[in-house]
Structure 1
Amino acid sequence: MLLSLLVLLAVMIALTQWRAGQREARAIRDFLPVGQIVDVDGTQVHVQILGQPKGAAPDLVMLHGASGNLRDFTLDLAARLAEDYRVILMDRPGLGWTARLPQHIGAWNASSETPSEQAELLYRAAQQVGADRPIVLGHSYGGAVALAWALDHPAAALVLVAAVSEPWPGSLGWTYRMTGSAAGGALAIPLVTAFLPERFVAASIESIFAPQQAPDGYAEHLGTDLTLRRTSMRANAQQVNSLLPHIVAMQQRYDTLSLPIELIHGTADTIVPAHIHAEVFAREVPSAVLTLMPDIGHMPHLVDPQATVDAIHRAAQRAGLR
């Protein structure tokens, strides 16, 4: 009996790993890198540069949120910016085509890249492509990385879009605690990669955009299977699960920020609520200017991209770049 159970368990593990591998192979085939791979001391960073040539316009670095990749900005927004900026899109560590930092690699390793570690890596990649003091935009989790960038490295201005900036009450829920743990990352995540149905992915996207709807073709453009790769799911879960203490530490340094900061945040955002994050941050930092977007949810850069363009223009003007 025990032998039969062990054989069945081995078969289930093999099936799970095979199905997960098939899904990952499809993602790799269908969503190849769209930019260049920059090597930062052995860590590969995926960078896509659009718009004006170097030196002809201000540099604008754009950092995506959790469960995303740089394609999040190329459905519509980046094209609107190409005439006025040298747009530099980056995949964050472990997501898209940027590798994890070596110290955080491993199926049973529950450590994750901090916002400061991510900012350090991406800043050094930006230097390699000639952007020493860019405007830095961050959406959601990417907003925390943009803040870490401004705290530790040169930046001309910040644009924070539905950004995580302040400590929040309560917990993130059992799913992040489970998948962000060493055991959950090693055991549960392969099951998700292998068997998560597409209808669940579609429902998750709609919940992120609520109360608006996702633009037509968004999921296909983003490449959700890239995020469902085992290494990317581990990276994302661990980064989100461990974020709060880093936000607490960063908040203690916000009084050192004096660069122009533009915030846009939807009043209907239930994922990163404005009253917990943007509104508090704007009161704490004198150089921060907040624009609240009535009845908009967590994805303002996609449901009202022109509002994000306008915020970038204001940041550039305040920094003396326009």
Structure 2
Amino acid sequence: MKRRGFAALVLAMATLGACAQQPADDAPDAAPKYPPQGRFLTVNGHRVHYVEKGSGPALVLIHGASGSLRDWTFGAVDRLARRYRVIAFDRPGLGYTPRIDRDGASIFEQADLFVAAAAQLDAPRPIVLGHSYGGAVALAWAVEHPDAVSGLVLVSAASQTWDTGLPLFYRVTSGPLGALANPAIAALAGQDRVQQAIASVFAPQPVPPGYAAHIGAELALRPDSLRENALQRAALKSGIARMVPRYPTMDVPVELLHGDADSTVGLQIHSVPTARQIPGANLVVLPGVGHAAQHVAAAQMDAAIDRVARRAGLR
């Protein structure tokens, strides 16, 4: 799985000295510009930031790496709230949900946290939708807590192991050098580079108007978030390896959507074999669509959610 998010581009920029020198402690505070959009609940002593809207069958949305629930509030929450009770969580260490521990939250720890959070919100068996890394968390939810999920929607989801090693960026930001490198990366990040990186995630489609201003990329560039994101990414492949043998035992409706132009999480590496391994899974291939299928193929995603709801007897 390749990760071509803005953070990797920022590291390359900093390494090559492509921007002016600036002290690390001059990094801007993202909180005043991008405050929490939702509410907080406490789950086993851990705060969780979430947005909730709408009524109907419960639908949990889980965002990907280097992101936050703002990816969902750009349009999906309001749109889906017309037919579903939508709950979007910030994953641990990202957005406004604090990290679980200093070693990085595994996909299983994140699933445990969200299962308990959903139950506390009186949504004990929601439909769970995950994008990219969030798809792996959704799968962990289903394999570890099969009685706490009604169905899955996996969008551009990381679901299989891959051959390449951990990219340099994540080795640096998750390792001992991160204490020095992460504040410098946060301070040196320029808006032009951030915009270019967002564009690379959407490619070959254009970035929707207003998305870059809404998403709050600075939240993911906070030093602690850079480290937590890197630690989670470093542990992802081993977590997926634990799940793959359990896919044939899954007994919930599963819909997969994946663009065949996705160069971040490859269709053939991930969703094609996963769709074969999960009984009854349905894969929709999106011709010419890149990694941001949750935005550029919103109608197809909404239709997949409706199919899961019908298959689960919720509609």
* Both proteins in one fold, TM over 0.5: yes
Q: How do 1:206-245 and structure 2 match up within 5 A?
A: 206-245=199-238
Q: Could you tell me how far 1:309 is from its partner in structure 2?
A: 0.5
Aligned counterparts of 2:65 and 2:287: Cα–Cα separation in 1 = 23
1:263 aligns with 2:270: no
Query: Could you say which residue in structure 2 is the equivalent of 1:165?
Result: 159
Aligned twin of 1:86: 85
Checking the alignment, whether the CA contact within 8 Å between 2:25 and 2:183 is kept in structure 1 is no
Partner of 1:316: 309
Are 1:120 and 2:112 counterparts? yes
Whichever of the two has the greater Rg, that structure is 1
Q: Tell me how far apart the structure 2 counterparts of residues 180 and 130 of structure 1 sit (CA, whole Å).
A: 36
Trace 1:151-190 onto structure 2 (pairs within 5 A): 151-153=143-145, 154-181=148-175, 183-190=176-183
1:149 aligns with 2:141: yes
Equivalence map 1:25-174=2 (5 Å):
27-52=30-55, 57-101=56-100, 103-104=101-102, 111-153=103-145, 154-174=148-168
Deviation for aligned residue 1:17: 4.0
Query: What is the total number of aligned residue pairs between the two structures?
Result: 292
Match of 2:12 in 1: none
Task: Give the TM-score of the pair, scaled to structure 2.
Answer: 0.90
Q: Deviations over 1:25-45 (max 9, x none)?
A: xx1101111111111122110
RMSD: 1.1
Distance, in Å, in 1 between the alignment partners of 2:25 and 2:170 is 24
Q: Which residue of 1 aligns with 2:7?
A: none
Instruction: Please identify, of 275-284 and 73-82, the stretch whose mean Cα deviation from structure 2 is larger.
Output: 73-82
- TM-score, normalization by structure 1: 0.89
Letter in 2 for 1:170: T
Q: In the aligned structure 2, how far is the partner of 1:212 from the partner of 1:250?
A: 32
Give the Cα separation in 2 of the matches to 1:126 and 1:17.
38
Question: What amino acid is the match of 1:162?
Answer: S
Offset at residue 196 of structure 1 (A): 1.4
Q: CA-to-partner distance for each residue in 1:103-124, whole Å, 9 max, x for gaps?
A: 32xxxxxx21100000011111
Percent sequence identity over matched residues? 46
Structure 1: gaps spanning 5 or more residues? 1-14, 105-110
Code of the aligned partner of 1:97: Y
SS at match of 2:142: helix
Q: Aligned partner of 2:134: which letter?
A: G
